[in-house]
Amino acid sequence: MHRFTILAFAAVASLPAAEAPRTFSIDAKDLAANRARLARGDAAITREVVALRAEADRLLNLKPASVLDSPGVAASGDPHDYYSAGPYWWPDPAKPDGLPYLQRDGIVNPESRTSGDMLAFRRTCESVRTLGLAHYFTGDARYAQKAALVTRVWFLDRATRMNPNFQHAQGIPGRSPGRGAGLIEARHLMLLNDGLALLAGSPAWPATDAAALRAWLEEFYRWLSTSKNAADEAAAENNHGSWFAAQRAHMALTLGRADDAKKILLAVRDGRIPRQIEPDGSQPHELRRTRSLNYVLFNLEALTLLARFGDHVGVDLWKFSTPDGRGLRVALRVAAPYVDPQKTWPKKDVSDENRARVLPLLTEALRHGEDAGYRDLLRRFGGTPAVGEHWRLWWAR
């Protein structure tokens, strides 16, 4: 038996039997069930945890990032303000200074990846969730310590902390210092918050740090609820509006504001889903994009997260359907077959997409009703997970 496997069983077996963690983008009950399976020596979950630990070990060498690291500075002039550039905007070749920038939908300007905070922010949040998962499954204190350090540098330490707003996200040179559309980059906070929830009880994340982060989140939630940029994003009819609803609902649940979360989710059920999904399951707002498959899946990822959040407050988005058939299930039914890389997507997109993104969507549907077709797709195309692909850890099969 692999040395890590023996150590993992010993570590997990020594962990106290606790209630399911307070996570929302992760199925907490299935996560707890899989930790119990690991302790029993289940081969499938052991493979997943071996891969998770290898990834977490690499993160132990990660230098904590902050908003002060990037060369770009927000229009406010405050280096503690988050700043990023719109990814699909390019200099106008007909203008000496390139201003104002012009849009090329689906074509990423490399400048947008090097001039701002987006990549570092995403990496910070993703790392905290990965490290949190590794700590939860192994009990290794090093992972909790690293997750806490990374969080403190970006969010809490006075010298390096980010201000709690996204006012200057996805700015466009010559057009806007920051837009509502930039709030889509804030969705990674869901990963951070659930990663930290997996550190519950660890000395590495004491109550003082948890309280300080909660204060940051409360201020950010107020900004999400009152700013013009947030209102603009809430009004978006496409995936941007879906992801905004998802992050607001997740933040409300994290902060214990269940009534707020329920209002958000009822608005998704009664307004957003009927407007975004046609009776045949198509998503017109996403299909018109130059990366249409990506955005069809991206919107479904937001809607399935919202359905998960609905389970916490009694709003069932999986059963919901309008009288003419619009609903989450029919939209997934249309997208699901394209997990097969040999199945031709009906539009000619500017880039290929990772079709394995369909797989975790299928597991969400299966939690709300058995479907032999979805089971077959999972069996045929489940394959070996890519680095950072963790959904099998909270899928109890």
**CB of 168 closer than 8 Å to CB of 162:** no
| pLDDT value of residue 61 | 98
Specify whether 167 is located in the same domain as 284. Answer: no
**Which has more pLDDT, 12 or 132?**
132
Domain end call among 154, 186, 205? 205
Indicate whether 262 belongs to any domain.
no
Tell me: do 199 and 346 sit in the same domain. no
Of the residues 159, 174, 205, the one at which a domain ends: 205
Domain residue limits at 23: 1-205
Q: Is residue 368 part of a domain?
A: yes
CB 180 within 8 A of CB 229: yes
Q: What is the sign, positive or negative, of the torsion defined by CA atoms of 302, 303, 305, 306? A: positive
Q: Are residues 5 and 100 in the same domain?
A: yes
Q: What is the pLDDT of residue 91?
A: 98
Each residue's pLDDT tens digit, 240-268: 999 999 999 999 999 999 999 999 999 99
Evaluate whether residue 390 is within a structural domain: yes
Is position 57 within any domain? yes
pLDDT of residue 15: 55
The answer as to whether 214 is a domain residue is: no
Render 203-265 in DSSP notation, one character per residue.
Answer: TTS-HHHHHHHHHHHHHHHHHHHH-HHHHHHHT-SSHHHHHHHHHHHHHHHHTT-HHHHHHHH
What is the DSSP pairing of strand 102-103 with strand 89-90?
A: antiparallel
52 and 172 together in one domain = yes
The last residue of one of the domains, among 205, 232, 262, is 205
The whole-angstrom separation of Cα 309 and Cα 303 is 10
The reply to whether 290 and 382 lie within a common domain is yes
Q: Whole-angstrom Cα distance, residue 8 to residue 100?
A: 56
Distance CA(256)–CA(28), nearest Å, equals 16
What CATH number should be reported for the domain holding residue 45? 1.50.10.100
Q: Per the domain annotation, does 212 fall within a domain? A: no
pLDDT tens string 29-86: 999 999 999 999 999 999 999 999 999 999 999 999 999 999 989 999 999 999 999 9
- 42 and 174 in a single domain? The answer is yes
Number of structural domains (the chain) is: 2
Predicted confidence at residue 13, as pLDDT, reads 45
Q: Which single residue is written with the structure tokens 């849009």?
A: 103
Q: What pLDDT, on a 0 to 100 scale, did the predictor assign at position 18? A: 53
Q: Indicate the pLDDT class of residue 384, thresholds 50, 70 and 90.
A: confident
pTM of the prediction? 0.95
- Are 173 and 26 in a shared domain? yes
Same domain for 279 and 198: no
Cα dihedral sign for 130, 131, 136, 139?
positive
Q: Is the pLDDT of residue 19 over 90?
A: no
Report yes or no: 136 and 30 within 8 Å, Cβ to Cβ. Answer: no
